[in-house]
Structure 1
Amino acid sequence: MSELTAEDQKLVTLARATKARTGAAEGAAVRDSDGRTYAGATVDLPSLQVSAIGVCIAMAVASGSKGLAAVVLLTEGDLADVDASVIREFGGESVTVLVGDPRGTTLAPTRH
């Protein structure tokens, strides 16, 4: 991960810490277009299911953010289609999206 900028490395650290603290399936962090960061984990309750990216974007929108600059998702799987759609809808096509395994040892840009 040495090629990551300091700002992107911060997102990895936030996503990893949030996932570890909650024990959730996924951890994510986003940087909005104003440079503010939001971290979240998967919510999997009987009456509410939200992806980690969904949590982050909901927090950004609720805080008055107008767009995204970067997204980090730590997951065993791939970027879900619904998450890719909400990233495009809220952030546009130029958002940096990095997806990697939960340990953060493999982190790569992905097309969204």
Structure 2
Amino acid sequence: MPETPTAPAVRPVGSALSAEDGKLVVLARGARGRVGAVEGAAVRDQDGRTYAAASVALPSLTVTALQLAVASAVAAGATRLEAAVVVTEASTVDGAGYAAVRDLAVDAPVHLAAPDGTVLGTVSE
């Protein structure tokens, strides 16, 4: 079984998010809240299109919200991501979701937000 990648540490946000990244927080919170999921996530592609998803946990399938948001973007034709947001009670971004974002963008910020929408920090490398 392949090892799950780990995401780098989240660093505190130095300034307010851009309006576009703020929209991703709203979309991720909505995706999480609609189904009462553990996580919600949203990504923005190279054309400014956004994709939101919630985590899925079934007996036969487990997908993080960020993995699903990235998969939705790719399925719609995205070839690059500009930014991503994960809304969760966790203090870190999941490694598998982070790796999926990095498959499409080595420098896109990945913001971590609490369920109330407070941005806790950003991972960007």
TM-score when normalising by structure 1: 0.91
**Aligned alpha-carbon RMSD (Å):** 1.6
Structure 1: which 5+ residue stretches go unaligned?
Answer: none
Give the distance between the partners of 2:34 and 2:97, measured in 1 at CA: 22
Superposition deviation, residue 111 in structure 1: 4.0
Whether 1:109 and 2:109 are equivalent positions in the alignment is no
Verify: 1:76 aligned to 2:118, yes or no: no
CA distance in 1, matches of 2:111, 2:50: 15
Deviations 1:22-66 (A, max 9, x none): 100000000011110000000011111100001101101110111
- 5+ residue gaps, structure 2, are 1-12
The sequence identity of aligned pairs, in percent, is 46
Name the aligned partner's letter for residue 70 of structure 1. A
Q: Distance in 1 between matches of 2:81 and 2:25?
A: 16
**How many Å separate the matches in 2 of 1:48 and 1:108?**
29
Q: Which has the higher contact order (CA 8 A, sep 6+)?
A: 2
Q: Does 1:11 align with 2:12?
A: no
Equivalent position of 1:87 in the other structure: 101
TM-score of the two chains, using structure 2 as the length reference? 0.82
Distance 2:31 2:99 in 1: 23
Aligned residues: 111
